[in-house]
Each structure stands twice: as C-alpha cells, then as structure tokens.
Amino acid sequence: MTNKTMQELNKIEEELQAILTNGKKKTEAYLQEVETAEQNEEEAKRAVIEAKQVGTATEYAKANQDLRTAKDVAQFYSGKIEKLKDDPYITEAEYNKYSEQIKSSLDKVRDIKLRRAGELLKELSEIREDFLPMLEKGNSLLGTLQHDLLKDEGKILYKGAAPIYGFDQIDRYKGAEGFSWIKGILAQYGASDLLKLTEKGENK
C-alpha cells in the first residue's frame, strides 16, 4: 500500500511539474519576444536619427512609424508577461481534482500507519508494565539489604516524624531511566487515541 501510494503521489507530481513547466515556457517565449522588440526599438531609434540627418521626409516618417510599431510590440508582450504573473496555470476545478487525489492517496495509508503506531505504543506499554513489578521487587530487596541487613538508613537530610534520606545514599536500582522515557512517550498528547485504535480491534 505504501509503495502504491508513493507511486500515485509521484504520478501527480509529474503532472503538476509538466503544467508548471508549460506555463513557464509561455513566459519565457514572451520574454524572448520582448527582448527582440526592444532590440528592434533601439534599431528604429537609430534609423530615426539617421533619417532626420540625411534622409528624406518620407524616410523620416517611415522610421518614426517603425519606432512606434516597435514600442507598441514591446508593450504588447510586456503586458502579456504581466498578465501571466497573475493568471493561474490551472482552473479551480483542476485544483480541486488534484487536491482530492493527493488527500485520497494519503488517506489510504494514514489509518494503516496510525494503527501501526498504536500497536507500537501498546507494545511499549506492555514492555514497561512487564518490567515495573520486577523493578519494584528489586528495589524492595535492595532496601531490605541496605536497611534491614546492613542496618544503614542512608544520610538523613531531614529529621522529623518521617525522616527524609538523601537519594544518593539510598541503594536503589538506577538503570530504569529508559522506562521513564517510555512513560513520557505514553503520556504525550494523542497517544491514548492511538492506543484506542488497537483496543477497538481496528488494526485488523
């Protein structure tokens, strides 16, 4: 399913890139026309000057007409480029079609991946729950070993009805940090929703 979805998205990408490339080609064609028209305009300016200096009135009039034509052509294609900047390459209907195709492709794998994530979270939860009784038992034994057998209560930080002992002075298992991390992951927003997917049996 994942490979099929990626193939669908790649196909859409190819189509969108083709539309984009075609749109850019139109702009580039107009830019070339503008460049040609500007070159013609410069040549027409020189022809006007030359006709005014050494030509006849007819030649001068024609040179001026050619200059106006060159300016008009340059403005025409410049206007086309300005219009293309704001004109979309696709219609709203085409946009909606591609948008739905993309979202539909993602929908196909979203639930599968979320259910898989829920399964992994459930497995993490089970790993932690399996270890906690052993951790509790081990720490209880370490407490018995230290307090009852060695008769060492650790360094007292606060003397009172319920004395507080320094954590570093109490012999407890210190290698369970990873299970605190798992607890943190399971406490994240949305984790319970993923776990519910497996509880409902929707992972089948």
Alpha-carbon span 93 to 97, nearest angstrom: 6
The pLDDT of residue 197: 81
116 closest CA partner among 129, 124, 5, 9: 124
118 closest CA partner among 29, 177, 49, 185: 185
The pLDDT of residue 36: 83
CA distances from 130 to 2, 47, 183, 193, 196 (A): 33, 94, 13, 22, 20
The pLDDT of residue 19: 92
The pLDDT of residue 106: 93
| pTM of the predicted structure, to 2 decimals | 0.60
How many whole angstroms from its chain centre is CA 108?
A: 19
Residue 175 in tokens: 């290698």
Diameter of the chain by CA atoms?
Answer: 125
What residues pair up with 158 in beta bridges, in sequence order? 164
The pLDDT of residue 164: 59
The pLDDT of residue 204: 42
Give the chain's radius of gyration (CA, Å): 39
The pLDDT of residue 158: 54
Residue type, 109: V
Note down pLDDT in tens along the chain; length 204 residues.
678 899 999 999 999 999 989 888 877 887 787 788 778 878 878 887 887 787 778 877 888 888 888 888 888 877 777 777 778 888 999 999 999 999 999 998 998 898 899 999 999 999 999 999 999 999 899 888 887 887 776 655 555 666 655 555 677 888 899 999 999 999 988 888 888 887 765 444
CA distances from 152 to 16, 155, 157, 170 (A): 74, 9, 14, 9
Look at phi and psi of residue 163 and say left if phi exceeds 0, alpha if psi is from -120 to 50, else beta.
beta
The pLDDT of residue 169: 64
Backbone angles phi, psi at 165, to 5 degrees: -105, 145
The pLDDT of residue 23: 82
* C-alpha torsion 51→55→61→62, nearest 10: -80
